[in-house]
């Protein structure tokens, strides 16, 4: 029976990916390894626990001894585990270096020892840095600008080196911004959606005109799965839906889908080092036969509906330590901000 390890599977994309694998017919064992940081949430996997072939292990990818016990018999590793929020990496970068760089290194070492047949590193388009015009190709150099993206770029370098030096069968995916169910409310779309539902200010950084290329999470999961099965070892694959939008456009869409008051949109001081625009060329992943299935407007409608219908989920997530983080990050900014007309 095929054994698949999904690290970071209690987070946003990892839990959607695990759900997609579990829905598929065929005998396989899926092991989730997750440290359950503030971003990990067992509620994201509630419908999968107890299913045949599903196992959850609480643990850290930096723990080599645990990996040594877990990896025998593993066919494929999908490494989603990471510290992922750019704003938090600006406040404190150490945990990013630890998990994203040292954790990936530890996992690579153990994958090599246990002769894992494929190691899929889930990276990000942010490693390329910002681009004014055109789109990044897989062969472009990495020029990361935040401690988060620098840590992910460090991981990509290590993954590449384990292939070139030791022949570990690795593949790297670099996707654009995901949105959809189970995304932590610290991130842009869920934060704005839940604030809109609560009637709270929606804090837009800078002039609100930074551009991100949005992909519905299930489309990214299908692409990652395809790369894991059909991608070429040693290669990098960009993943993106080509739906480039200014933040202000997304914010207004959330206002209209949630029925919130437009006066909640508030321009606040910018994120330091804020990348202006991300855009990736996706010819390579499309040449494997992938294309997006969920149109942007439909994905946004489903996402806002999901947060409306799952208030208990996000209210719990917004309690506790999140409140402290939110105050630190936004209180002064919102009070000094101006309402966007
Ligand atoms: P997330 O923050 O929602 O989830 C990360 C998960 O990793 C959490 O469950 C957390 O508990 C776990 N984790 C953190 N440190 C760990 C450790 N040391 N050991 C084991 N588990 C640990 O993140 P996400 O948005 O689902 O992103 C998943 C992956 O995809 C990340 O590698 C991220 O860099 C990449 N990515 C995300 C996006 C996006 O738009 N969200 C886009 C491109 C790439
Ligand atoms: O591009 C892929 C990356 O997308 C992933 O690698 C990261 O893990 C993921 O967090 C995401 O990074 P971003 O920085 O692009 O996402 P975030 O949701 O933090 O912000 C999206 C845009 O919205 C960005 O231009 C900043 C802006 N923003 C964000 C927040 C949280 C605001 O204007 N206000 C906010 O409160």
Q: Does ligand 1 come within 6 angstroms of the Cβ of 103?
A: yes
User: How far is 42 from 35, CA to CA, in rounded Å?
Assistant: 11
Question: To which H or E segment does residue 304 belong?
Answer: helix 296-309
User: Could you give the C-alpha distances from 91 to 62, 176, 195, 325, 328, in angstroms and in order?
Assistant: 22, 23, 22, 10, 10
The pTM assigned to this predicted structure is 0.98
User: How far is 146 from 126, CA to CA, in rounded Å?
Assistant: 9
Predicted local distance difference test score (pLDDT) of residue 118: 98
Predicted local distance difference test score (pLDDT) of residue 341: 58
CATH code at 2-179+214-239: 3.40.50.720
Helix or strand or coil: residue 280? strand
Catalytic residue (one of 125, 213, 219, 243): 125
Please say whether the beta carbons of 55 and 29 come within 8 A.
yes
Predicted local distance difference test score (pLDDT) of residue 30: 97
Q: Across residues 22-31, what is the average pLDDT?
A: 91
Beta strands in 151-259 (DSSP E): 170-175, 177-179, 202-205, 211-216, 236-239, 243-246
Please say whether the beta carbons of 237 and 138 come within 8 A.
yes
User: How far is 186 from 318, CA to CA, in rounded Å?
Assistant: 8
Please say whether the beta carbons of 232 and 118 come within 8 A.
no
Tokens standing for 282?
A: 């996706």
Q: What confidence tier does 270 reach under pLDDT thresholds 50, 70, 90?
A: very high
Mutate to test the pocket of ligand 1, among 82, 86, 103, 108 (most ligand atoms within 8 A of CB): 82
Query: How many Å lie between the centroid of ligand 1 and the Cα of residue 99?
Result: 10
Portion of the chain with pLDDT greater than 90, in percent: 96
Asked if pLDDT for residue 340 goes beyond 80, the answer is: no
- What is the residue with the minimal CA distance to atom 10 of ligand 2? 85
Residues 85-119: pLDDT tens digits?
A: 999 999 999 999 999 999 999 999 999 999 999 99
User: How far is 66 from 118, CA to CA, in rounded Å?
Assistant: 19
Secondary structure letter of residue 321 according to DSSP = H
What is the rounded average pLDDT for all residues in the chain? Answer: 97
Please say whether the beta carbons of 93 and 52 come within 8 A.
no
Q: Rounded to the nearest 5°, which phi and psi values hold at 268?
A: -125, 170
Q: Across residues 123-149, what is the average pLDDT?
A: 98
Asked if pLDDT for residue 223 goes beyond 70, the answer is: yes
Query: How many Å lie between the centroid of ligand 2 and the Cα of residue 100?
Result: 18
Q: What confidence tier does 1 reach under pLDDT thresholds 50, 70, 90?
A: confident
Burial code of 48-68, b = ≥16 C-beta within 10 A, e = fewer?
A: beeeebbebeebbbbbeebbe
DSSP state string for 97-130: IIIIIIIHHHHHHHHHHTT-SEEEEEEEGGGG--
Mutate to test the pocket of ligand 2, among 142, 177, 330 (most ligand atoms within 8 A of CB): 177
Tokens standing for 308?
A: 């409306």
Q: Across residues 284-300, what is the average pLDDT?
A: 98
Please say whether the beta carbons of 78 and 123 come within 8 A.
no
Beta strands in the chain (DSSP E): 2-7, 28-34, 54-58, 76-79, 118-124, 170-175, 177-179, 202-205, 211-216, 236-239, 243-246, 265-268, 338-339
Residues 165-205: pLDDT tens digits?
A: 999 999 999 999 999 999 999 999 999 999 999 999 999 99
Q: Across residues 225-234, what is the average pLDDT?
A: 98
Asked if pLDDT for residue 39 goes beyond 70, the answer is: yes
User: How far is 97 from 341, CA to CA, in rounded Å?
Assistant: 40
């Amino acid at each position: 029976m095929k054994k698949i390890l999904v690290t970071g599977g209690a987070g946003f994309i990892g839990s959607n990916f695990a759900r997609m694998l579990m829905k598929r017919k065929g005998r396989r064992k899926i092991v989730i390894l997750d440290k359950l940081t503030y971003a990990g949430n067992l509620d994201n996997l509630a419908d999968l626990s107890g299913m045949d072939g599903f196992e959850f292990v609480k643990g850290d990818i930096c723990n080599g001894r645990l990996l040594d016990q877990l990896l025998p018999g593993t066919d494929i590793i999908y490494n989603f585990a990471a510290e992922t929020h750019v704003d938090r990496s600006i406040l404190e970068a150490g945990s990013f270096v630890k998990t994203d760089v040292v954790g990936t290194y530890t996992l690579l070492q153990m994958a090599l020892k246990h002769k894992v047949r494929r190691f899929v590193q889930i990276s990000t388009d942010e490693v390329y840095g910002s681009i004014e015009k055109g789109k990044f190709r897989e062969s472009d150099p990495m020029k990361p600008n935040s401690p988060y993206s620098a840590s992910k770029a460090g991981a990509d370098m290590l993954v590449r080196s384990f292939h070139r030096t030791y022949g570990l069968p690795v593949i790297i995916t670099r996707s654009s911004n995901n949105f959809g169910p189970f995304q932590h409310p610290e991130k842009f779309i869920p934060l704005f959606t839940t604030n809109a539902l609560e009637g709270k200010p929606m804090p837009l950084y800078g002039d609100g005109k930074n551009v991100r290329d949005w992909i519905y999470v299930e489309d990214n999961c299908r692409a990652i799965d395809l790369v894991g099965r059909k991608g070429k070892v040693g290669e990098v694959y960009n993943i993106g839906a080509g739906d480039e939008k200014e933040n202000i456009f997304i914010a207004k869409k959330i206002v209209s889908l949630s029925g919130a008051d437009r006066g909640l949109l508030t321009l606040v001081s910018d994120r330091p080092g804020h990348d202006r625009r991300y855009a990736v060329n996706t010819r390579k992943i499309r040449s494997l036969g992938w294309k997006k299935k969920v149109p942007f407007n439909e994905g946004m409608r489903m996402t806002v509906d999901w947060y409306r219908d799952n208030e208990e989920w996000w209210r719990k997530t917004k309690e506790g330590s999140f409140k402290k983080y939110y105050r630190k990050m936004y209180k002064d900014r919102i009070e000094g901000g101006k309402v966007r007309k």
